[in-house]
Chains A and B, each alone.
Chain A
Amino acid sequence: MEDDAPVIYGLEFQARALTSQTAESDAIRFLVGTQSLKFDNQIHIIDFDDENNIISKSVLLHQAGEIWHISASPADKAVLSTCYNKTSESRVVTCGAVWSMPPEWESGSHESPDDPHNSHNPQNLELLCHLDNSAHGNASSVLWEPMGDGKRVISLADNHALLWDLTESSTQATISSSATLEGKGQLKFTSGKWSPHHNCTQLATANDTAIRGWDLRTMSQIYCIENAHGQLVRDLDFNPNKQYYLASCGDDCKVKFWDVRNINEPVKSLEEHSHWVWSVRYNHSHDQLVLTGSSDSRVILSNMVSISSEPFGHLVDDDDLSDGEDNHQDEKSKEPLQDSIISTYEEHEDSVYAVEWSSADPWLFASLSYDGRLVINRVPRALKYHILL
């Protein structure tokens, strides 16, 4: 049972921003934002044909500036948000904005990936609204309300977390509430995550070495994990199935798993990367699968069975039990489940700043390195069957 070889796609520009198209549940589709100071930046829409192992891409122009962060609306396939650098009068400002893809992008500018320089005449993104507030400084990321109707976003700007309401088909954005991080020195949110649990009323943010939880109803802090990592915390992700579980990664090369009810000690800590870990993602369906990307140019897929919502393997439905009971029990008794590294992917040659699971296929993920290389990989089949059966 050979696993399929990874599929590699190269961008012309350097890139850091990657997201899967959250609202798309059929096609495997990723969005990549480029970073170039001299040319018009682009958003590459990467479609992956799983059966034929073929990548097809579309390019949309993002002329506002180089993209540092990208995220897609959970409700509308065509809507996305970016954080981008705007250079004006020898000042560099990072802004947030909500965009809409032009309706005909899919049919119009569909290109073969084999023809890399054929990006002439790409279409522009259509600006819906700016998430702009000059009083609140540089935006580091924009977060959509998970599983929401695409009407609410949070932007993290320097030391502020701003909750926006999008109205008028997202063309109007108004700040409904905000929270400010206060303390000594220049505090700045490095990243954040909107919790899908508790009716989407919680937010987790990272600044320096601390992780903080916020209640969005009161915009007040719920918990604070000081010194969650030895150095800067780079990324966070919520366990999609266990409401109190949170994964974090940072410059101390570690990935830590927290139960936010007990913030003194991490539940689990991994130290597999040999440099900073920039990104951590739980699989949306099988939360034992955790993906991490690091500036040691590696992507690591771990199987954290012991702290997953399925610590004893996949729960079998009653119907299945009636006919296959014995088999399952045998299987469980002879295979003790242990946390392990499933695989280390070394296709990248530069730092990997972003990894993302596909929202359509839970067994597929993409990783993006700084040199513009996007690699699409699959969970090894053996493991997939092990989890499923």
Chain B
Amino acid sequence: MYIRSSRRVHGMLKLYYGLNEEGKTVDQAESMNPCDINGTHFDPEVYLNKLRRECSLGELMDQESCMVKQIRSLDSDMQTLVYENYNKFISATDTIRKMKNDFKKMEDEMDCLSTNMAAITEFSAHISGTLQDQHAQITKLSGVHTLLRKLQFLFELPARLNKCLELQAYSQAVSSHRRARCVLQQYSHMPSFRGIQDDCHAIMDKLAQELRQKFRDGGSSAEDLSECVELLLQLDEPAEELCDKFLSHAQSRLEANLRGLEAETDILEFIDRGCNEFVSSLCLVIASYQELFVNRPQEGNLASKDIPHMAIGKLHAFVDALATCYFSLVERRIQEEKSVGDNSLLVRALDRFHRRLQAVAKLLPGSAVPSQGTEIVVRAARERIKQYLAALQSFYLDSLRDVRQALAAPRLGGSSAGELLSSLSASILNQIKSVLASVHLFTAKDITFSNKPYFKGEFCSQGVRESLVVNFIKFVCQSSRQFCESAGDRGGSTPPALLLLLSRLCLDYETSTITYILTLTDEQFLVQHHSPVTAVAALCGEARGAAQKLLNHYVKVQGLIISQMLRKSVETRDWVNTIEPRNVRAVMKRVVEDTTSIDVQVGLLYEEGVRKAHSSDSSKRTFSVYSGSRQQTRYAPSYAPSAPMDTNLLSNIHKLFSERIDIFSPVEFNKVSVLTGIIKISLKTFLECVRLRTFGRYGLQQIQVDCNYLQMYLWRFVSDENLVHFLLDEIVGSTAHRCLDPAPMEQSVIEVICERG
């Protein structure tokens, strides 16, 4: 029993201290075991029964002694524990007792505190009650103070503003005024405030006046100006008016620039100055203007919404107007640039001009100025082409004049005409080349405007190729043709040699030069033919036409000169009463001489040409003289030969008739054809003149002699000698017809006279 109770006490203690003794697991495992002496469910009866049943006596004895030993040790342990805990308990009791006393004291103090607090609260409430009135008063006073300070500001405002005005601290003045403005506005019904307001207004008006004055003043810089504008805007100055003023101010300066330009003489300097002064200033004006009016932040009531819009509109108008002035100036200046010597200056000037305008384009997108500038450049280029054409033309005419003088100058030696031709044609070609080179500058890579579509396309094809080259070639042909027309009516004012030379020139153009020039142009300018251009063949045709016309005219003029001699010689003589012929008349010799010299002249420039085979005795032919009594049958030709002739000649004559001789007919480009034409004209004139006269016997004989002489010398020049035979036959025949006493001279006598010369 004891054991059980001790165990119980042990367990309780253990519980109290919370100790976990060793063998705890065993305890739990065997806790249900009633034989476990340390277990909770230990049943001494069961244990004893078990021991008695199982153990022998010895063992029981041992068990008993072990048990007693264990009880003794347990007792001692318990005694120790009790002792220890007792001390602790004693001290705890002491402590509690002491605490009890302390609390009591504290309670008293707490009571005292609460009473004190109550007193304090009471006091505080009391004080508050007392101070309430004063506080309200102070607040009111402080408000009055502030108001008074404001009022003071207001009262001092006019003076301040005046002072600012004196010191020219405009911005300060404006900001001060801005602060006061609303108040003044609000209290303007009170007389005193009204006075201030009026004063302020007066001062501010003065200020605005001064600002405007400053604004108007030409001298102030752009920054000053912009400041002025800024302030004026803040002063509710109407923006539109300001824009106008700003612009007009700028305009006066820019116009001064423009005026300065007018004095400039050199084109490059002109453009330079224009760019540096006018265009830069313009850009500056545009920039500051945009800064001021267009790009400014929207400041509520200050800037109404359409200010930028309005301002931009004004700016455009302004820039356009000024640019128009400038452009007209530039254009006038460019037009003055007439000397065609050095094109590079002009091109460079135009390039600069064009380049600088791009700046305006960047500043002011949507402006027409750059495109107008480009147009000016285009126009200048066009104008230039025209000038070059004119220069080429005048060069050509000058060359012609030189050639004419050279031809007129009495010079011996046949090579002159050929040399003149080659030098003329070479100098023209050189001139064309140099002009092409000059014009080519417009399309150089480093020129800004060369990549404009105009300069890539139209300039090359329509401008250079058509207007310049083709027109020049046409001009050459045209002017050549004009030589034919003017000379025809005024009796050959153009020397025939020049006609001949030009004809050859045109022919050369037709065969080679035109093709060469046009190929050169196309290569240099990479002409792309967007629009139809004149074909080479058409130009060649024109040149050939001109050459033909010139040559025809040459034949006509030369024929006319000889005709005139023959005509005069026939018309002025009294053929009825002339003496028996002893000589060939001088005029015939002259005719032969002239024909020979023409032959030489033509031979220098044209090839020989084809002629029919000569009969060996050409110069020995006899002329048939119709017997006077010949009666014509009705349809028989009047020229029917009566003298014996070989049948070949007769058939030739018939052939001639079937072909019919055209006197002023086109000639071929060779010497023989030219000479044939001239001789034809001359002899036909001779024939017609003879038919208008009446002859005596010796008159007829003289004509016989003359014709024989012509026959002797002229046959060699013509393509078909039968032609000469025929015409001379006609002359003699007609003379015989017109003869009162047709007694022909013996052929032998004629020959003797002719050989005598």
Contacts and interface: CB of A to CB of B under 8 A. Distances in A.
A29 to B, nearest CB: 21
Nearest to A188: B571
Interface residues of B, number: 30
Nearest to B684: A275
A252 B491 CA distance: 10
B628 A276 contact: no
A231 interface: yes
Contacts of A12: 631-632, 634
Contact of B738 (A13, A37, A229, A253): A37
A149 interface: no
Given A85-B694, A231-B560, A296 B637 contact: no
A346 B664 CA distance: 17
A90 B577 contact: yes
B86 interface: no
B657 interface: yes
Contact of A230 (B491, B638, B660, B740): B491
Range, interface on chain A: 20 to 34
B488 interface: yes
Given A230-B488, A253-B664, A275-B664, A38 B628 contact: yes
A372 B491 CA distance: 34
Nearest to B560: A231
A316 interface: no
Interface string A21-63: 0000000000000000110000000000000000000000000
Contacts of B740: 37, 87
Interface in A209-241: 227, 229-231
B665 interface: yes
Interface in B482-501: 488-491
Interface string B728-757: 000000000111100000000000000000
Contact of A371 (B560, B638, B688, B694): B638
B233 interface: no
Q: Which applies to chain A's interface (DSSP): helix, strand, loop or mixed?
A: loop
Contacts of A37: 694, 737-740
Q: Which applies to chain B's interface (DSSP): helix, strand, loop or mixed?
A: loop
Contacts, number: 66
A43 to B, nearest CB: 18
B663 A10 contact: no
A66 to B, nearest CB: 8
Q: Which of A87, A346, A349 has the most CB of B within 10 A?
A: A349
Given A85-B694, A87-B740, A91-B576, A14 B660 contact: no
A351 B632 contact: no
B631 A274 contact: no
Contacts of A253: 664
Nearest to A273: B664
Contact of B688 (A10, A252, A276, A346): A276
Interface string A240-255: 0000000000001100
B737 A14 contact: yes
Interface string B602-646: 000000000000000000000000001101101101100000000
B378 to A, nearest CB: 40
Interface string A321-356: 000000000000000000000000010011100000
Contacts of B663: 274-275, 296
Given A10-B634, A371-B638, A90 B696 contact: yes
Interface string A79-106: 0000001010011100000000000000
Nearest to A278: B688
B662 interface: yes
B316 interface: no
A119 to B, nearest CB: 12
B662 A274 contact: yes
Contacts of A275: 663-664, 684
A191 to B, nearest CB: 13
Contacts of B576: 87, 90-92
Interface of A: 8, 10, 12-14, 37-38, 85, 87, 90-92, 116, 227, 229-231, 252-253, 274-276, 295-297, 346, 349-351, 370-373
Interface of B: 488-491, 560, 576-577, 628-629, 631-632, 634-635, 637-638, 657, 660, 662-665, 684, 688, 691, 694, 696, 737-740
22 contacts: A37-B740, A38-B629, A87-B740, A92-B576, A92-B694, A227-B490, A230-B488, A230-B490, A252-B488, A252-B489, A253-B664, A276-B688, A296-B662, A296-B663, A349-B657, A350-B637, A370-B638, A370-B691, A371-B632, A371-B637, A371-B638, A372-B638
Given A230-B491, A371-B638, 4 more contacts: A87-B694, A90-B576, A116-B634, A373-B635
Nearest 4 pairs between A and B by C-beta?
Answer: A10-B634, A274-B662, A371-B638, A275-B663
